[in-house]
Amino acid sequence: MALQCSETAGFLGRLNKRIQNDVLHLTELQSRMAELRTNQAESGIAAQELRSTAKRAEQVIAAGHEAATFSIDKVSQLIAHVTGLEGQMLGFLAIIEAVGGISEEIGAIAKQTRLLGVNAAIEAARGGEATKGFAVVADEIRRLATQAGDSAASVGDKLMQLDRNARALIDGVEDNIDRSRETGARIDSLRVTMTEISTLVAQFQERSEAIALCTDDADADVRALDEGLSRFGESAQQSAVQADDARNRLDELECTANDMLNRAAHGGVRTRNSRYIAFAEEGAAEVMDMIGRALTTGALTEDALFDTVYRPIVGSDPPQFETGFVAFADRVIQPVLDRRTKEDQAIVGCCLIDKSGFLPTHISARSHPQRRGDRQWNLENARNRQIFMDAQTRRALDGDDDFYLFTYRQDLGEGRYRALRSAFVPLRFNGRAWGLYEVGYLI
């Protein structure tokens, strides 16, 4: 019954540890869930802002598209007007050329008229008094012809200047026309671009609406998942509490069963445990005799024996410690433990345990140098110089019987246990309680 209680309690202990680990993982998951909920809320806000931005962008683009279209139309009209100026300017140049021709004709006529006036004046001079009036007319004709010639020459100069200016203007207009045609092509491209931008903004608006809807759905899913995790967390917490309560009750039952086992061992009736109790008593007597003689001869001091200043060994995992008794125990006591362990195949090991649960030494098979980074292997194969304490060991250390017979769960690390039966014999030196001599065995 005691062994089954130990085994079941060990199973419950492992189960409880797994549940507690799951609770820790669940707590971490809930923490991450809280972060996700916060991020989801921020995503919802961002999605709403995106939706508002998309609507605003659509309005701005629509207004801009309308204004741009109006401006483009005006620019197109201006380009068309500028392009039309070329024909008008060419027509104006033709008129200037025609007027220039007329001016030249007027100059030629004035020249001929002036010659005619000169001839008329000569003839009038020949006629004497009779033609004096005609001479006055001839002079007037010559004067008018001269004025007409001068006017024609002045008009010709002005027309030549106007022609130069008109041709320069035409050259500028032709350049502007070429640029206007290039601008017209760019404007056509701009029309296409504005249309594409309007299409993209419309698509952006559709996507933003879809994102907002998905965000709303995801927010609902996150809330549901968070509620589910909260309920599961509460259930896991309750399961952990119940498992721990069951383990405590089983520990109490194990304690009761061990009391019964220990009382039966002290009842004077020989059982299959009697052999191992005798081994424990004999081993304890031998160890006390060896240590007593060492204290007497000075090979070991009482201060070193009762040294409880546990000095950690750097880098050990699980932690190991040094005391003033360790070197003597390894050199003198360990051979006794090895020999006593071989007395029976059922014996797992013999060891010494001081009042704090410290094992100054152990059998050779459990006293290997630790392997760095291999905690599980170290727990099983480097148990010396470690501190172990369980309820049964504590009861044996605190009691005043001559021996104790208990079952207990040997810690093998990583939540693994092994149900052992152990016979404990108290060790006393110079009237002072030191600890226990233990024989652990499997039957």
Residue 430: phi, psi to the nearest 5? Answer: 55, 40
Q: What is the pLDDT of residue 50?
A: 67
Distance CA 397, CA 385 (A): 18
Reported as a pLDDT band with limits 50, 70 and 90, residue 332 is very high
Higher-scoring residue by pLDDT: 441, 243: 441
Average pLDDT over residues 40-55: 71
Query: Are residues 240 and 19 in contact, defined by beta-carbon separation less than 8 angstroms?
Result: yes
Model pLDDT, residue 193: 73
Is 100:156 a contact under the CB 8 Å cutoff?
A: yes
Give the DSSP per-residue string, 46-68: HHHHHHHHHHHHHHHHHHHHHHH
Distances (CA, A) of 39 to 34, 51, 222: 9, 18, 11
98-133 in b/e form (b: 16+ CB < 10 A) is: ebbeebeebbeebeebbeebeebbeebeeeeeebee
Establish how many alpha carbons lie within 13 A of residue 316's alpha carbon, considering only the half-sphere containing its beta carbon.
20
What's the rounded Cα separation, in Å, for the pair 333 and 29? Answer: 51
Task: Give the model's pLDDT for residue 136.
Answer: 66
Could you give the CA distance from residue 342 to residue 332 in angstroms, rounded to a whole number?
17
* Pairing between β-strand 404-413 and β-strand 416-429 as defined by DSSP bridges: antiparallel
pLDDT in tens, 65-97: 666 666 666 666 666 666 666 666 666 667 767
pLDDT in tens, 182-210: 766 676 676 677 677 777 667 766 776 77
**What is the average per-residue pLDDT within 296-316?**
96
pLDDT interval class at 27 (50, 70, 90): confident
pLDDT of residue 250: 72
Q: What is the pLDDT of residue 420?
A: 84
Could you tell me the domains of the chain?
Answer: 2-234 (1.10.287.950), 266-441 (3.30.450.20)
The contacts found for 97-104 with CB under 8 angstroms, 24 or more apart, are 97/163, 99/155, 99/159, 100/156, 100/159, 100/160, 100/163, 103/152, 103/155, 103/156, 103/159, 104/152, 104/156
CA-closest candidate to residue 348, choices 269, 275, 418: 418
Pick from 20-34, 259-273, 419-433 the range whose average pLDDT is largest.
Answer: 419-433
Give me the pLDDT at residue 295, please: 97
Integer distance in angstroms from the first to the last C-alpha of the chain?
A: 13
pLDDT (tens digit per residue) in 251-305: 777 788 888 888 988 988 899 999 999 999 999 999 999 999 999 999 999 999 9
Residue 57 token pair:
């962008």
What is the pLDDT at residue 81?
Answer: 66
d(CA 342, CA 331): 18
In the prediction, which pLDDT does 195 show?
74
Give the whole-angstrom CA distance, residue 144 versus residue 135: 14
Among residues 413, 416, 393, 420, the alpha carbon closest in space to that of 318 is found at 413
> 11-20, 53-62, 105-114, 299-308: which has the highest mean pLDDT?
299-308
Arithmetic mean of pLDDT, 223-247:
73
Question: What does the DSSP 8-state code read for residue 130?
Answer: G
Name the one residue in this structure whose structure tokens are 């195949």: 345
- pLDDT of residue 154 exceeding 80, the answer is no
Mean per-residue pLDDT, 335-347: 96
Does pLDDT of 53 surpass 70? yes
- Average of pLDDT values for 135-143? 68
Q: Which residues of 288-315 are buried (b: 16+ CB within 10 A; e: fewer)?
A: bebbeebbeeeebeeebbbbeebeeeee
Give phi and psi for 432, each to the nearest 5. -110, 135
pLDDT tens per residue, range 171-183: 666 676 666 667 6
Q: What does each C-alpha distance from 410 to 340, 364, 365, 416 come to in angstroms?
A: 20, 18, 16, 8
- Among left, alpha and beta (phi > 0; psi -120 to 50; other), residue 409 is beta
Determine the distance from the C-alpha atom of residue 139 to the mean position of all C-alpha atoms in its chain, rounded to a whole number: 111
- pLDDT given for residue 375 in this prediction: 92
Q: Is a pLDDT exceeding 90 seen at residue 319?
A: yes
The share of the chain scoring above pLDDT 90, in percent, equals: 34
Quick check: 388 pLDDT over 80? yes
Q: Does the pLDDT at position 19 exceed 80?
A: no
- Ranking 109-123, 327-341, 387-401 by mean pLDDT, the lowest is 109-123
* Average pLDDT for 379-397: 92
CA distances from 424 to 7, 150, 291 (A): 20, 151, 18
Of 38-47, 63-72, 413-422, 432-441, where does the model show the most confidence? 432-441
